[in-house]
Every structure is written in structure tokens, then in C-alpha cells.
Amino acid sequence: MALIEADKISKKYTLGDVEVNALRDVSLTIDKGEFVSIMGASGSGKSTFMNILGCLDKPTSGRYLLEGIDISGLDRDELAEIRNVKIGFVFQGFNLLPRTQAIENVELPMFYKGVATQERAERAMDALSMVGLETRAKHYPNQLSGGQQQRVAIARALVNEAPIILADEPTGNLDTKTSVEIMDLFQRLNVENGITIILVTHESDIAEWSRRTIRFMDGQLMLDEERKATHG
């Protein structure tokens, strides 16, 4: 069974009188342990596709199976639960909670899952060590550099042991050197921990870290190519 199975997914929006087909009949499967990059110009439908993969949105038609579960039949709270345990999000703008320590940010998904206090603290610390920030646990986001903030966000994505990390332009706000560090971290999580990484980017040198590239254009899947990773 594939980890992710999209079957003829379409998404339509109505903007005023105009109906926009953001996605048209997109079908693809992603297996466990893959490192996939999704590319495309803005408006190509890649963000819409990401939102559906991340269970933040539901397709207008078609089926989306995540570990065999049909997402379209789930309600708000069931989707929240899926996001909580199956998907780790990493955003371009880091999206850490302000005035909240790094470790508390990492603990957040476990609160919503209902993990006990002791275990929560231990697992948050483990996740921070995985991204090399165990010494910064008590720092607030505004005391951390961009790269460090993004690593806290990755620790947060890891902490509930979600099988998938969805990263939306994770290096968009970072300089080249830091970008390389973050991509290196993703690659390590992919190879060593077997986490499926799905990465949205418009930079081809970032996409080169992945072993499969999917390209969107006008809401349709244009290209789906596998290659040997050039890094690592």
C-alpha cells in the first residue's frame, strides 16, 4: 500500500463569478521513504496540492488516501487529528509561536495529542537533539537565527513521529549556507529515519536534493521524474 495515493484529484474555487480550476485530475502515488520535491510557478496548483496532501483542505472531486484512509470523508476534528499524528509541517516563515520557548514550541503537537508531561519533556528534548539544538531549548524564537528557528520547526514536525514531513519553501527565508544545512538535515531524516519528505520549492538547486521531482503547470501534473540524488 502506498503512503499517499491521489486519484484524479480536482479542486475548484469560485472567485466572484469566475470558477478557477486550481487542480485538474491529478493522480499520483508516493511511497514510504521517498524524498519528493514539488515544483511549479505560482498559480500552478502546487500550493493547493500541498494543502490537500497536508489535510488542510479537501479535494472537490477525486480520492485522496493517506495510509489507506480516505480523507474526503473526515470532518474538521478528524482532519486535525490526522495532521497531528501523520504530518509534520515546516513552513517558509518558520511559524513558531512568539514568546514561547523553543522546547515549548516543540511540545505543542504533543499537547494536542494528549501526551503525559514527563514523556512530553523527554521527547521534545530528543527532537531538539536530532536537529542539534538541545542547548537552545530555553531560547525564545526572537533569540534564535533563521536557520535555528527552522530547525526548531523541524523538531516540532518530528516530535509526534509523523511518517511524513511536508515542507513548504523551507529555505525561502534562509541564506545559501543555512539552506544547505537545512536540506542536509532533511536528507539525514529521510535516509536515517525513513521519514517521507515532500518539499515544495521553486529553486531547482533545492529540488536537486530530492530523488523525485513533480512539476505542476496550470493545475495539472506536467512532469514526474525520478533521478539519483546529487547530494549526500
Partner 1 sequence: MVNVPWTARLALRALKANKMRTLLTMLGIIIGVAAVIAMLAVGTGATQQLTEQISSMGSNLLIVLPGSTTSGGIRMGAGTQPTLTAGDAQAILEEAPAVDAVAPVLSGTAQVVYGHQNWSTGIVGTTSSMLTVRDWPLAQGRGFSGADVKNATKVCLMGQTVVDNLFGDEDPIGKNIKIQNLPFTVVGVLSVKGQSAMGQDQDDTIMVPLTTAQRKLFGTAFPGMIRIMLVKAKDTSELDNAQTQITDILRQRHHIGQQQDDDFTVRNLTQIMQAAEQSTKIMTLLLGAIASVSLLVGGIGIMNIMLVSITERTREIGIRMAIGAKTWDIRFQFLMEAFIMSMIGGIGGIAMGMSGSAVLSKIAGWPVIVSPFSILLAFGFSGAVGIFFGFYPAYKASLLNPIDALRYE
**Could you give the C-alpha distances from 119 to 122, 126, 128, in angstroms and in order?**
5, 10, 14
Q: DSSP letters of 104-163?
A: HHHHHHHHHHT--HHHHHHHHHHHHHHTT-GGGTT--GGGS-HHHHHHHHHHHHHTTT-S
Binding flag, residue 67, partner 1 (CB under 8 A): no
Stretch that binds partner 1, among 28-36, 82-90, 138-146, 217-225 (CB under 8 A): 82-90
Binding flag, residue 138, partner 1 (CB under 8 A): no
Residue number with CB closer to partner 1 (12 or 181): 12
At closest approach, how far in Å is the CB of 183 from partner 1? 22
Stretch that binds partner 1, among 59-67, 95-103, 171-179, 192-200 (CB under 8 A): 95-103
Q: Amino acid identity of 22?
A: A
Long-range contacts of 92-96 (CB under 8 A, 24+ apart): 92/168, 92/169, 92/170, 92/172, 92/173, 93/173, 94/141, 94/146, 94/149, 94/150, 94/152, 94/153, 94/173, 95/153, 96/141, 96/149, 96/152, 96/153, 96/156
At closest approach, how far in Å is the CB of 40 from partner 1? 18
At closest approach, how far in Å is the CB of 225 from partner 1? 29
Q: How far apart are CA 67 and CA 126, in angstroms?
A: 26
At closest approach, how far in Å is the CB of 77 from partner 1? 4
Residue number with CB closer to partner 1 (87 or 206): 87
Residue number with CB closer to partner 1 (144 or 207): 144
Binding flag, residue 42, partner 1 (CB under 8 A): no
- Out of 17, 19, 77, 192, point to the residue binding partner 1 (CB under 8 A): 77
Residue number with CB closer to partner 1 (157 or 189): 157
Binding flag, residue 56, partner 1 (CB under 8 A): yes
Q: Amino acid identity of 214?
A: I
Residue number with CB closer to partner 1 (120 or 212): 120
Residue number with CB closer to partner 1 (157 or 214): 157
Q: Helix 76-86 and helix 102-113: axis angle, to 10°?
A: 130
Sheet with 69-70, strands from edge to edge, namely 18-30, 4-15, 61-66, 69-70
Binding mask 100-119 toward partner 1 (x if CB under 8 A, else -) reads x-------xx-xxxx-----
Task: Provide Rg for the chain, Cα atoms.
Answer: 18
Could you list the residues that contact partner 1 (CB under 8 A)? 51, 54, 56-57, 76-77, 80-81, 83-85, 89, 91, 95-100, 108-109, 111-114, 156, 160
